[in-house]
Amino acid sequence: AFMRMRRFDDFQTSLGMTRHLLASRLKRLVEEGIFERVPYQQAPVRHEYVLTEKGRALHPVLMAMATWGDDWMDKGMGPPLLYQHRACGHVMRPVMVCSECHEPLQATQVTPLPGPGLAPMLGEAAMAAPEATKPKAQRARQRVR
């Protein structure tokens, strides 16, 4: 869909899966709000699959997975696709950066912390984060009190 495919036959040709399996998967993606099924022809009625806002939000995830595949699964042949940034015209590789300082992110530099949605998911006990996971400034304030 990010490669401008919208119609069932285009998906089937590109993906090489059976009509039944493709129909089942597209139905699920519509149910999950990833695609919207929109008629493009009346007689007979035919539909195309248009990415929703939720579906378009998957783009960074898919780009990250493609980059991983290019790095680890290419068998020495190089990436099957290159990506060009339309704004500047350069061929590029997607990079995940901090939304605040814009530095590239490494797994060793990211610490998960409890967020506002954790308590409803796991119950109040989950919000009592172990001391080591709290930011240093918060731990220092608690010791002073």
**CATH number of residue 32's parent domain:** 1.10.10.10
Q: Mean pLDDT in runs of 10 for the chain (145 residues)? A: 85 92 96 96 92 95 94 90 95 93 93 89 64 60 57
Helices (H), the chain: 8-15, 19-31, 53-56, 59-72, 118-122, 136-144
* 73, 50: one domain: no
Tokens 């992110």: give the residue: 105
CB 35 within 8 A of CB 29: yes
pTM above 0.85, yes or no: no
The answer as to whether 115 is a domain residue is: no
Both structure tokens of 144: 């002073």
The answer as to whether 135 is a domain residue is: no
Sequence letter at residue 85: H
Residue 134 pLDDT: 59
The answer as to whether 14 is a domain residue is: yes
User: 118 Cβ partners below 8 Å, 6+ apart?
Assistant: 126, 127
* 66, 35: one domain: no
Sequence letter at residue 1: A
Residue 74 pLDDT: 87
The answer as to whether 27 is a domain residue is: yes
* 15, 35: one domain: yes
Residue 119 pLDDT: 83
Cis peptide before 44, with omega less than 30 degrees from 0? Answer: yes
The answer as to whether 74 is a domain residue is: yes
Instruction: Count how many domains the chain has.
Output: 2
* 44, 64: one domain: no
Domain carrying residue 34: 8-56
* 46, 71: one domain: no
Report residue 71: phi and psi, to 5°.
-75, -35
